[in-house]
């Protein structure tokens, strides 16, 4: 089956709330506004990664003493180290060197900066501290690597901005269904047709959102049992 383009996707979303015949073409800035709203929705829904169901794998090298790795879109300046998009949810991170795997503990910025630690430090990285910014995500390795390590990341990345000629082949069908309904709702209010967005469409959107959230691999459990790891034997294991 041929992948649907963003242009075709936008037409489908308009037809959910339009009073025009399906054969009537879009006019004015309707197309560009719809693409703008679609990109805004994807950015909004990927903020936590819950509504971005597909996680990706990334692999890269870090140099000796390199503490920071940035993730973002390739057109962002300065260019991020990893250009898959902003990392919205890091599920697993690990290093490997000469056949040995070293799992990283993903720690929050607040816990990291409120913990007792030596800084700066070089050794075996034990922690990955994630800091989310507007267009970038920064990962800090602590301690900084004392050797060149191969870093592996498994997580969810914010989709890169779409244009009218982009295709939607990278999105699973259940995500397309959700985005089409969500975009239709945005367009209803943009076109002054809020009354066209009725209870039936809202129910469909609600079900689609629940379906996509249930397909997500994000763990919403709160685990604070490792908050003291930065203070104890991990410094010894890291060669500090």
Same domain, 75 and 151: yes
pLDDT, tens only, 196-230: 999 999 999 999 999 998 888 876 665 555 545 56
Burial (CB count within 10 angstroms: exposed 0-12, middle 13-18, buried 19+), residue 198:
exposed
Residue 211: its pLDDT value, please? 92
**Residues 64, 153 within the same domain:** yes
Flag whether 225 is in a domain: no
Q: CA nearest 133: which of 71, 66, 54, 62? A: 71
Residues 101, 70 share a domain: yes
Residues 71 and 142 in one domain: yes
In a domain, 108, yes or no: yes
Q: Are residues 92 and 153 in the same domain?
A: yes
Question: In which domain, by residue range, is 140 found?
Answer: 56-158
Q: Quick one: 28 and 77 in the same domain?
A: no
Pairwise CA distance, residues 202 & 184, whole Å: 10
Residues in the chain with pLDDT values less than 70: 1-2, 19, 21-24, 120, 219-240
Same domain, 25 and 12: yes
Q: Is residue 154 part of a domain?
A: yes
Given this model, what pLDDT does residue 50 score? 85
177 and 191 in a single domain? The answer is yes
How far is the C-alpha of 182 from the C-alpha of 91, rounded, in Å? 26
- pTM recorded for the entire structure: 0.82
For residue range 7-43, list pLDDT tens digits in order.
999 999 999 998 675 656 777 789 999 999 999 999 9
Peptide bond into 78 cis (omega under 30): yes
Burial class (CB in 10 A: 0-12, 13-18, 19+), 225: exposed
pLDDT the model gives residue 170: 87
In a domain, 167, yes or no: yes
**234 falls within a domain:** no
Backbone angles phi, psi at 117, to 5 degrees: -160, 160
What value, to the nearest 5°, has the Cα angle with vertex 204 and ends 4 and 24?
Answer: 50
Same domain, 61 and 44: no
Pairing assessment for the beta strands 149-157 and 87-97 based on DSSP bridges = antiparallel
Judgement on whether residues 123 and 141 belong to the same structural domain of the protein: yes
- Please tell me the predicted confidence (pLDDT) of residue 226: 53
Judgement on whether residues 90 and 153 belong to the same structural domain of the protein: yes
**What CA–CA distance (Å, rounded) separates 34 from 82?**
28
Query: Do 38 and 61 lie in a common domain?
Result: no
Asked whether residue 85 is domain-assigned, the answer is yes
pLDDT for res 236: 53
- How many independent structural domains does the chain possess? 2
Of 142, 158, 174, which closes a domain?
158
164-192 b/e (C-beta count within 10 Å ≥ 16 → b):
eebebeebeeebebbbbbbbbbbbbebee
Residue 239 lies in a domain: no
């Amino acid at each position: 089956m041929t992948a649907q383009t963003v242009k075709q996707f936008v037409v489908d979303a308009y037809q959910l709330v339009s009073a025009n015949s399906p054969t009537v073409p879009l006019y004015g800035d309707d197309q560009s506004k719809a693409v703008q709203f679609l990109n805004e929705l994807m950015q909004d829904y990927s903020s936590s990664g819950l509504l971005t169901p597909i996680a990706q794998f990334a692999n890269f090298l870090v140099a000796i003493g390199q503490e920071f790795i940035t993730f973002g879109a390739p057109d962002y300046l300065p260019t991020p180290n990893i250009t898959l998009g902003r990392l919205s949810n890091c599920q697993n991170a690990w290093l490997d060197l000469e056949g040995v795997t070293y799992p990283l503990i993903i720690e929050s910025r607040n816990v990291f900066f409120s913990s007792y630690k030596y800084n700066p430090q070089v050794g075996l990285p034990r922690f990955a501290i994630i800091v989310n910014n507007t267009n970038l995500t920064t990962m800090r390795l602590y301690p900084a690597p004392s050797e060149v390590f191969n870093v592996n990341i498994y997580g969810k990345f914010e989709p890169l901005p779409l244009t009218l000629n982009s295709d939607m082949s990278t999105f699973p069908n259940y995500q397309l269904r959700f985005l089409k309904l969500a975009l239709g709702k945005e367009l209803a209010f943009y076109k002054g047709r809020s009354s066209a967005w009725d209870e039936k469409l809202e129910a469909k959107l609600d079900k689609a959102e629940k379906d996509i959230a249930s397909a997500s691999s994000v763990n919403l459990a709160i685990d604070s049992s490792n908050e003291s790891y930065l203070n104890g034997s991990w410094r010894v294991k890291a060669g500090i």
